[in-house]
């Protein structure tokens, strides 16, 4: 059962949403320095590329749903990536209101360069944890995230 404390006892350092948000920001900033500095990509562009690498064909709406980024942010990222020749967009044969997005050959090459680098950075981040602790962390995160997922 949850412990009830007075508002005077409120400590952000023990408030899980704050700690998770701060950690996510710091991790994202550390990775962003890598792909911004070396490849001129911002966080939104990286997320679009990463999802298109993970799932080779998606619509902007599917990317929005997967990343939880807003429509304008995804649209700007896709336009920038398309302008750089990293992504191509074609009308969906299934629904003309949507466009299918895919990595171009240049986008695939970029991801082939970036993925080992971001994995290396992830390994540095996780280095203080044992393999068992890493698995436990992922399991606990999934347990916390599951009830929050939208139907």
Structural domain boundaries of the chain?
12-148
Q: How far apart are CA 50 and CA 124, in angstroms?
A: 20
Q: Is the pTM of this model over 0.95?
A: no
What's the CATH class of domain 12-148?
mainly alpha
Residue 114 has which token pair? Answer: 């970036």
Residue 97: pLDDT above 90?
no
**Would the pLDDT of 150 be above 80?**
no
Determine the pLDDT at residue 151: 45
């Amino acid at each position: 059962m949850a412990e009830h404390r007075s508002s005077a006892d409120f400590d952000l350092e023990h408030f899980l949403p704050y700690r998770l948000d701060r950690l996510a920001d710091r991790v994202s900033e550390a990775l962003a320095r890598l792909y911004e500095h070396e490849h001129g990509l911002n966080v939104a562009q990286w997320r679009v590329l990463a999802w298109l690498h993970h799932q080779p064909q998606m619509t902007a709406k599917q990317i929005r749903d997967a990343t939880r980024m807003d429509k304008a942010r995804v649209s700007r990222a896709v336009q920038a990536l398309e302008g750089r020749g990293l992504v191509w967009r074609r009308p969906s044969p299934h629904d003309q209101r949507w466009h299918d997005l895919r990595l171009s050959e240049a986008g695939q090459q970029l991801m082939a360069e970036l993925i080992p680098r971001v994995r290396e950075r992830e390994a540095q981040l996780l280095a203080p944890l044992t393999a068992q602790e890493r698995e436990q962390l992922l399991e606990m995160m999934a347990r916390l995230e599951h009830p929050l997922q939208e139907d």
